[in-house]
Chains A and B, each alone.
Chain A
Amino acid sequence: MIAHSVFFYIFSLIAIVSAVMVTVSKNTVHSVFFLILDFISISCLFIMIGAEFLGMIMLIVYVGAVAVLFLFVVMMLNVAEQKGQWFSSRWDGGTHIPVGLLVSLIIFFELIIVIGGWKYKPDLLNSLSINISTEVTNTRSIGNVLYTDYILLFQISGMILLVAMIGAIVLTYRERVGVKRQSYVKQISRERDEGVDLVEAERNKGVKIDA
């Protein structure tokens, strides 16, 4: 068990340090890199407690897709410049900072509640002693619960994600007029007769092209 706990402490140390670095580092791109490191070490912790499916899904979804989009946005927007704007005197709106304060207050109280959860740890450990079968892989056992008892919640969360996706597309979609688009079918099915017109040109008169 010594090796196990050593690895646990290494991963949790990395997770905590990188979580702190996400908020502390001045460069926003570095913050995202630390966030990625945090995600990776947390998925390692998941794997260590035997939840390998969750750990891998964490890697695929958060590190493989979400964090890439974070990086994308952070690199494209000039966040550092905007941050300077928010705190400078010439910035006149007053809406961002109060909202930010409110959200961070809520998160702070949530954190306190989570820490309070330690008090109930003994009860939790007792309830954990229900039979955990080591023979069924945890992918299968998650599937067994997710698609039977919680199928409605699962479907509803899928629907919410779908609605959010459609909403994002609708909000950003702008129909542009006058854009020339290619159609492969049209290009390939073009015949010689449509493209080439052989005309007998008369001398000194030329050919008149009717548009």
Chain B
Amino acid sequence: MDSYFLILFTEVYKIIFLLVPVLVSVAMIVWLDRRVWAFVQKRRGPNVVGPFGLFQSLADALKYIFKEIIIPASSNKLVFVLAPVVTMTLALISWAVIPFGEDFVLADINVGILYLFAVSSLGVYGIIMGGWASNSKYPFLGAIRSAAQMVSYEVSIGVIIINVLLCVGSLNLSDIVMAQQNLWFVIPLFPMFVIFFISALAETNRPPFDLPEAEAELVAGYQTEYSGMMYAMFWLGEYANILLMCAMGSVLFLGGWLSPIDIFPFNAIPGPFWLIFKILFLFILFALVKATVPRYRYDQLMKLGWKIFLPFSLFYVVLTSSFLLYFDLLPGK
């Protein structure tokens, strides 16, 4: 019985050791996002609270905590309260399988990439629940839009993952990183990386695909009726999801914790830092896209997903597998 408790305590300790940095970096990333956005638009951005405005997110969080939570009278109360909880939980549990280094991962499961894919496909429920339970037109329309959008782009992300898996021969995330020791997958699979990046934007409801919360049409989409800490949880979950998509992109295409070249000044830096650099690089790309690209129209979004990305990535699966088969490079026997 003692061993159970020992395992329980070490696991809880590990989870806290993982979750606290993730939450802190989510707060920091919001600040970074706003700074990059302001930089592109020749503004200053948040620069008052703390050095360089670093504590802005902290101040915002405090503000949200002390605001009143308003639950609409005609809403479905239980589902209304559950929705932000679901969003937040799903955004955080996926971090369990992200490998930060060799043997530096919370749960090194065999089907890691499937787990990530499954959890990110569950993410739509927080939004649908929130939109439906609000019992109001704008949130509902936002939720319906989001459901259609996320299901569509999930398909192309799935096919892109198949491309990577063909080159690795394993569903384990650590194996995926180790398979990139000689060549990062971003080089042979560059078109897939671009499509993954765009699909990740759509999957996380980032601009230019932020139609579920298009403020010009839907006020704030599914979050319209939320206030105080519940709104903040949606917001945190959204940014945790964005970070997770960046982490997924760097594990699948940019070699995870591996250093770009295996010579002295680079390989002296420990693995987790490389992963963090890559996540930050992808996130800054996300922020730049937000700052520069205008919002898509809904039919354009659907057209892009189903008529362009899906056929192209399917074609690339055929291309990758025939290439691997022809040159006898198929992994794993």
Q: Which A residues contact B (CB, under 8 angstroms)?
A: 2-3, 29-30, 33, 36, 52-53, 56-57, 59-60, 63-65, 68-69, 71-72, 75-76, 137-140
- Do the beta carbons of A68 and B114 come within 8 Å of each other? no
Beyond A29-B132, A65-B154, A75-B144, list 9 extra A-B contacts (CB 8 Å). Answer: A33-B129, A60-B114, A64-B122, A65-B151, A68-B125, A72-B147, A72-B148, A75-B140, A137-B111
Identify the interface centre among B128, B154, B332: most chain A CB within 10 Å of its CB: B128
Contacting residue for B114 out of A36, A56, A69, A76, CB 8 A: A56
Chain A to chain B: the 8 pairs with minimum beta-carbon distance, closest first: A64-B121, A59-B118, A56-B114, A137-B110, A60-B118, A52-B111, A56-B111, A56-B118
Provide the residues of chain A in CB contact with B117, threshold 8 Å. 56, 60
Asked if B79 CB lies within 8 Å of chain A CBs, one says yes
Residue contact A36 to B125, C-beta cutoff 8 Å: yes
With A63-B121, A63-B122, A139-B171 in contact, do A68 and B110 touch (Cβ < 8 Å)? no
Q: Considering the complex, give the chain A residue whose CB is closest to the CB of B155.
A: A65
- Write the B103-117 contact mask toward A (1 if CB under 8 angstroms, else 0): 000000111001101
Chain B: interface residue count, which band?
A: 20 to 34
A139 and B111 within 8 A (CB): yes
Interface residue B326 (Cβ < 8 Å from any Cβ of A): no
Q: Is the CB of B327 closer than 8 A to any CB of chain A?
A: no
A69–B150 Cα gap in the complex (Å)?
Answer: 12
Task: For A67, give the chain B residue with the smallest CB separation.
Answer: B125
Known: A56-B114, A57-B114. A75 touches B132 (CB 8 A): yes
**Docked pose: A27 CA to B106 CA in angstroms:** 39
Q: Which partner residue on chain A sits nearest B114 by CB separation? A: A56
Cβ of B110: which chain A residues have Cβ within 8 Å of it? 52-53, 137-139
Show 24 residue pairs from A and B whose CB-CB distance is below 8 angstroms, ordered by the A residue.
Answer: A33-B129, A52-B111, A53-B111, A53-B114, A56-B114, A56-B115, A56-B117, A56-B118, A59-B119, A59-B121, A60-B114, A63-B122, A64-B121, A64-B154, A68-B124, A68-B125, A68-B128, A68-B147, A68-B151, A71-B128, A137-B110, A137-B170, A137-B171, A140-B332
Output the nearest chain B residue to A53 by Cβ-Cβ distance.
B111
Which residue in chain A gives the minimum CB-CB distance to B148? A72
B residues neighboring A (CB under 8 Å): 4, 79, 109-111, 114-115, 117-119, 121-122, 124-125, 128-129, 132, 140, 144, 147-148, 151, 154, 158, 170-171, 332
Complex alpha-carbon distance, A57 and B114, angstroms: 8
Minimal beta-carbon separation of B148 from chain A (angstroms): 8
**Cα(A140)–Cα(B332), bound, Å:** 10
A72 and B146 alpha carbons, distance in the complex (Å):
11
Cα distance, A111 to B195, chains bound together (Å): 46
Q: For residue B114, which residues in chain A have a CB less than 8 angstroms away from its CB?
A: 53, 56-57, 60
Q: Do most interface residues of chain B lie in helix, strand or loop, or is the interface mixed?
A: helix
* Complex CA–CA separation, A71 to B144 (angstroms): 10
In the complex, how many angstroms separate the beta carbon of A76 from the nearest chain B beta carbon? Answer: 8
In angstroms, Cα B93 to Cα A59, docked, is 15
Cross-interface CB contact of B118 among A2, A30, A63, A72, cutoff 8 Å: A63
Task: Give Cα distance in the complex from A2 to B170, angstroms.
Answer: 32
Q: Which residues on the A side are within 8 Å of B132 (C-beta)?
A: 29, 71, 75
A3-B4, A52-B111 are known contacts. Are A65 and B121 too (CB-CB below 8 A)?
yes
Which chain A residues border B4 with CB–CB below 8 Å?
A: 2-3
CA–CA, A68 and B147, complex, Å: 7
Residues on A with C-beta less than 8 A from B119 are 59
- The residue in chain B whose Cβ has the minimal distance to the Cβ of A36 is B125
CA distance A76 to B332 in the complex (A): 47
Task: Tell me the minimal C-beta distance from B310 to chain A in angstroms.
Answer: 13
Given A60-B117, A64-B154, A72 and B144 touching (CB < 8 A)?
yes
Instruction: Identify the closest chain B residue to A57 (Cβ).
Output: B114
Q: Nearest chain-B residue to A74 (Cβ)? A: B132
Shortest B4–chain A CB gap in Å is 6
Chain A residues within an 8 Å CB radius of B148 = 72
Docked pose: A65 CA to B157 CA in angstroms: 13
Closest to A138 in B: B110
Which partner residue on chain B sits nearest A54 by CB separation? Answer: B111
Measured between C-beta atoms, what is the minimum distance from A49 to chain B in Å?
Answer: 14
User: From B171, which residue of chain A is reached at the shortest CB distance?
Assistant: A139
Of B118, B129, B332, the residue contacting A64 (CB under 8 A) is: B118
Residues of A within 8 A of B140 (CB): 75
Q: How far is the CA of A33 from the CA of B78 in the complex (A)?
A: 12
Bound-state Cα–Cα, A137 to B118, Å: 19
The residues of A that contact B144 with a CB separation of less than 8 Å are: 72, 75-76
B110, B117, B144, B148, most chain A CB atoms within 10 A: B110
Chain A residue at minimal CB-CB distance from B115:
A56
| Minimum Cβ distance to chain A for residue B312 (Å) | 15
Complex: A28 Cα to B204 Cα, angstroms: 28
Q: With A and B bound together, what is the CA distance between A95 and B109 in angstroms? A: 51
Q: Which residues of B contact A140 (CB under 8 A)?
A: 332
